[in-house]
Structure 1
Amino acid sequence: MKILLIGSGGREHALAWKISQSPRVTKLYCAPGNPGIAELAECVSIAADNISALKDFALQNKIDLTVVGPEVPLTLGIVDEFEQAGLKIFGPSRAAAQLEGSKTFAKKIMKKYKIPTAAYEVFDDAQKALEHVYMSRFPVVIKADGLAAGKGVTVAISLVEAKRAINAALKDKVFGESGAKIIIEEFLAGEEASLLAFCDGKNFVPMVSAQDHKAVYDEDKGPNTGGMGAYSPAPVVTETVLRQVKETIFRPMLDGLAKEGAPYKGVLYAGLMITESGEPKVVEFNCRFGDPETQAVLPRLQTDIVDIFEACLDGKLAAQNIEWSEAAAVCVVLAADGYPGQYAKGQEISGLAAAAAWPDTCVFQAGTAKQDGKLVTSGGRVLGVTALGADIKTAIKNAYKAADLISFSGLHKRKDIGKKALAYLK
């Protein structure tokens, strides 16, 4: 079968890598792709948000299945457009994708269907938002309502920080329309985890757990990023926690969306806080594979991912047997100096082949480009180095050994990816 993958980051490279392993795939295209993906698929120069051009390409090339990586085309309604044209596409409808496209929508759904999350208020007026935080207990969490590439969240520990975040969104419009409304919510103490699930509209099957590292510096210091690394499994997600997440989060959300006339098909990502009492609460929902969690989770998947995609679309997920490796996986993101702020591009990358040759290691390209025949940096998050190991300690060691073989001017990486998991081994 012919498959079209949409996107150009590390998540899409991991998806291309896994999809290309399916014996059912005769041709894999990716739009727009990146140099790493180009080694696995034919890259097509169509932007991920150019829905009409993507639809035309899929029709002209008789694409059997389209897989959507990033959130923007999903929130723009690419699934609805493709389905109306008679094309099979993996991902949620525009209505269901509001879970990520609007935090206000997500909060309202969670409140309506009694899904545990932080208490919150919504504001579109800076003065009223400031008046609210004057009366709040710090820290407070301030979020842009719409899509902000993982950078629209501020954990304000003081009134000064809260005021700066509120004004940035509502007065300075740093997030554009995405920040026209903000959510101010209570701070949840505990340990974060990510749990993704395959969904077919009625049924869901959770993937193996993972933990992302949002802050740019070690010990969770500095501003939030799209993610500086991830590991799987996350020991904080015990069997008890997993059962609670299934019963109190995924089940009521899928049932609720179906009642709202927006049955959810695709990958549903629950960003969780495992609170100090042990109760999991939702920090956020995403409507697609996480990045970089995908780079830590998919290397553990042993079932043909194309079979899973089709089971989701056909409403047959309950009959699909999904198997995972017992090995642990760790992904270390190599970023450009200055990210998530301003950073240089065009820095030559070396050592990629040596790192990729390391046993049980994959190097997923994210912000890369070809320039005069050389591989250079072109984004904030440049590469994701993922390694497997018999346990988390071994996987961490393997990932950093491979990552240390790669260099480019201004390379920055966290040195503590997976450290929280080690605490559970004592």
Structure 2
Amino acid sequence: MRGCRVLVVGQGAREHAIVWKLHQSRFEPKLFVAPGNPGMEGLATRIPISVDDVSSMVEFALEAQIHLVVVGPEAPLSRGLVDACLEKGIPAFGPQQAAAMLETSKAFAKDVMKKAGVPTARYEVFTEASAAKRYVEECGAPIVIKADGLAAGKGVIVAQTLEEATDAIDEILVNERFGASGHRVVIEDFLDGQEASLMFFVDGDYAIPMLPARDYKRIGDGNTGPNTGGMGSVAPVLRDRPEMVSAVERTIVMPVLQELKNQGVVYRGVLYVGLMVTRDGHPMVIEFNARFGDPETEVVLPLLTTDLLEVMWAIAHGRLKDIELTWSAKHAVCVVLAAPGYPEKPSVGQPIRFAHGPADLVFHAGTTNEDGVLKTSGGRVLTAVGIGTTRHEAQGIAYRIAEKIYFDGKQLRHDIGS
């Protein structure tokens, strides 16, 4: 493993956090990232290959004699990048295409949960707007409308009124806002309680939980405004409820892995479980992701004290049972800085100015370097991370870093970690 050549696929803050953590490995890997972003320079060699270009990615991995491919975002997973790597004998960290359907099709995930007896909201699946609207009228509001496929974290509408619900159905099924991802909608009962995100390292038969985190999806303070890909995160949560983590593993993760195996699918990589802990204390699944969450990764990985390369290598080679995860006792809070107009129509191209110090932890997401000038290039631009002995201390550090980053129209929430 020492000196191994690792290719990380992706370009967001999640991948920046992964590269940053792998760079700390005692095994001193040679890191490549495709396509990466300006924040990763100095940590890894950037390769100009799109995350969607599976054939070019595999071709590069073969030519560069890559020992491990680490897939960050969902798009290449859905396109079968891991399958293509394995076919060429290249070890990979991430689920194969059939396993990634837990994220790429909400209807498939719901069907797996139903067969596995996993606690989740009651639901129905529709392809016709008229039938979906009749169902909504029968159920009443609030109610949750989800585009079936990938929608960059924006395909979920929590409708507070019947009018909002019918508008959401029209947007997805009639106006085709999400293209092919919205040819079906999943309509779910609204769940009330405390949200939490719990990620597991998974190796077919074996699962190890990471620290629980909480994601803040809405654009505005107090959970107002439209859903986003995530405006911030805190970890750990549920520290006073360790039995909750074991309950999620026992009643959700292991039954899902077994049901997938019953269907001939072996899941390896990270399984992200988005939870609603109901008022009576029971965890119920809101969603699955087939990869590290973003921005949860930016608060969970800084607290991991086990060598991340060792964990990923073990999963890729079927030896996760030999790994013991250890964690810092500290807290982490991250605040996402978003472009003006995000999430509906982000405006990009604004110059970015920094006044923070070299010790400040900032992960790049939507940034680009144009003629030596760092500019915004995506909806979520940067993630400021604070680490402290208490959540309050971590929160203060994160916001002090965020305040020292400037670009026109900068958006951020002011209540992450409160």
Q: Which bin holds the TM-score, normalised by the shorter protein?
A: over 0.9
Secondary structure in 2 aligned to 1:340? coil
> What TM-score, normalized by structure 1, do the two folds share?
0.96
Shift of 1:356: 4.4
Equivalence for 2:334: 331
Equivalence for 2:346: 343
Equivalence for 2:390: 391
Residues 357-379 of structure 1: CA deviation (Å, up to 9, x unaligned): 35xx4100000000121111111
Matching of residue 372 in structure 1 with residue 371 in structure 2: yes
CA distance in 2, matches of 1:345, 1:297: 28
Shift of 1:237: 7.0
Q: How does 1:87-166 map to 2 (within 5 A)?
A: 87-166=90-169
Secondary structure in 2 aligned to 1:417? coil
- State whether residues 202 and 315 of structure 1, in contact with CA within 8 Å, keep that contact through their aligned partners in structure 2: no
Matching of residue 17 in structure 1 with residue 45 in structure 2: no
- State whether residues 140 and 162 of structure 2, in contact with CA within 8 Å, keep that contact through their aligned partners in structure 1: no
Secondary structure in 2 aligned to 1:355? coil
Shift of 1:287: 0.2
- State whether residues 18 and 305 of structure 1, in contact with CA within 8 Å, keep that contact through their aligned partners in structure 2: yes
CA distance in 1, matches of 2:156, 2:356: 33
Q: How does 1:59-74 map to 2 (within 5 A)?
A: 59-74=62-77
> What TM-score, normalized by structure 2, do the two folds share?
0.98
Shift of 1:26: 3.6
Secondary structure in 2 aligned to 1:219? coil
AA partner of residue 403 (structure 2): D
AA partner of residue 250 (structure 1): V
Residues 153 and 24 from structure 1, CA distance in 2 versus in 1: closer, same or farther, beyond 3 angstroms? same
Q: How does 1:308-319 map to 2 (within 5 A)?
A: 308-319=311-322
CA distance in 2, matches of 1:164, 1:219: 24
Secondary structure in 2 aligned to 1:256? helix
CA distance in 2, matches of 1:345, 1:303: 37
- State whether residues 193 and 237 of structure 1, in contact with CA within 8 Å, keep that contact through their aligned partners in structure 2: no
Match of 1:305 among 301, 305, 308: 308
CA distance in 1, matches of 2:338, 2:42: 22
Match of 2:281 among 267, 275, 278: 278
Q: Percent identity?
A: 48
Residues 274-314 of structure 1: CA deviation (Å, up to 9, x unaligned): 01110000000000000000001000011111110111122
Shift of 1:258: 1.6
Equivalence for 2:269: 266
Secondary structure in 2 aligned to 1:268? strand
CA distance in 1, matches of 2:231, 2:357: 19
- State whether residues 238 and 244 of structure 2, in contact with CA within 8 Å, keep that contact through their aligned partners in structure 1: no
Shift of 1:236: 7.2
- State whether residues 303 and 322 of structure 1, in contact with CA within 8 Å, keep that contact through their aligned partners in structure 2: yes
- State whether residues 148 and 178 of structure 1, in contact with CA within 8 Å, keep that contact through their aligned partners in structure 2: yes
Equivalence for 1:247: 250
CA distance in 2, matches of 1:71, 1:330: 24
CA distance in 1, matches of 2:116, 2:104: 19
Residues 304-361 of structure 1: CA deviation (Å, up to 9, x unaligned): 111101111222212211111000000000001110011221111112xx42435xx4
Secondary structure in 2 aligned to 1:412? coil
Residues 55-85 of structure 1: CA deviation (Å, up to 9, x unaligned): 0000001000000000011011111111011
Match of 1:205 among 205, 208, 215: 208
Residues 164-219 of structure 1: CA deviation (Å, up to 9, x unaligned): 10000000000000000000000000011000000111100000010000000000
CA distance in 1, matches of 2:392, 2:249: 28
The gaps in structure 2 that reach 5 residues or longer are none
Residues 356 and 70 from structure 1, CA distance in 2 versus in 1: closer, same or farther, beyond 3 angstroms? farther
Equivalence for 1:409: 408
AA partner of residue 355 (structure 1): H
Aligned length: 415
Secondary structure in 2 aligned to 1:331? strand
AA partner of residue 228 (structure 1): M
CA distance in 1, matches of 2:362, 2:225: 25
- State whether residues 116 and 281 of structure 1, in contact with CA within 8 Å, keep that contact through their aligned partners in structure 2: yes
AA partner of residue 389 (structure 1): G
Matching of residue 32 in structure 1 with residue 31 in structure 2: no
Equivalence for 1:223: 226
Equivalence for 1:296: 299
CA distance in 2, matches of 1:144, 1:284: 12
CA distance in 2, matches of 1:265, 1:317: 10
CA distance in 1, matches of 2:306, 2:136: 48
RMSD of aligned alpha carbons: 1.0
- State whether residues 235 and 333 of structure 2, in contact with CA within 8 Å, keep that contact through their aligned partners in structure 1: yes
CA distance in 2, matches of 1:103, 1:250: 16
**Which 4+ stretches in 1 moved above 3 angstroms?**
none
Residues 322 and 127 from structure 1, CA distance in 2 versus in 1: closer, same or farther, beyond 3 angstroms? same
CA distance in 1, matches of 2:26, 2:286: 38
AA partner of residue 17 (structure 2): A
CA distance in 2, matches of 1:306, 1:26: 8
- State whether residues 7 and 33 of structure 2, in contact with CA within 8 Å, keep that contact through their aligned partners in structure 1: yes
Residues 246-269 of structure 1: CA deviation (Å, up to 9, x unaligned): 111111111221222111100000
CA distance in 1, matches of 2:318, 2:364: 33
AA partner of residue 198 (structure 2): L
Equivalence for 2:47: 44
CA distance in 2, matches of 1:65, 1:25: 14
- State whether residues 356 and 363 of structure 1, in contact with CA within 8 Å, keep that contact through their aligned partners in structure 2: no
Deviates more, 1:336-345 or 1:310-319: 310-319
- State whether residues 91 and 317 of structure 2, in contact with CA within 8 Å, keep that contact through their aligned partners in structure 1: no
CA distance in 1, matches of 2:240, 2:56: 41
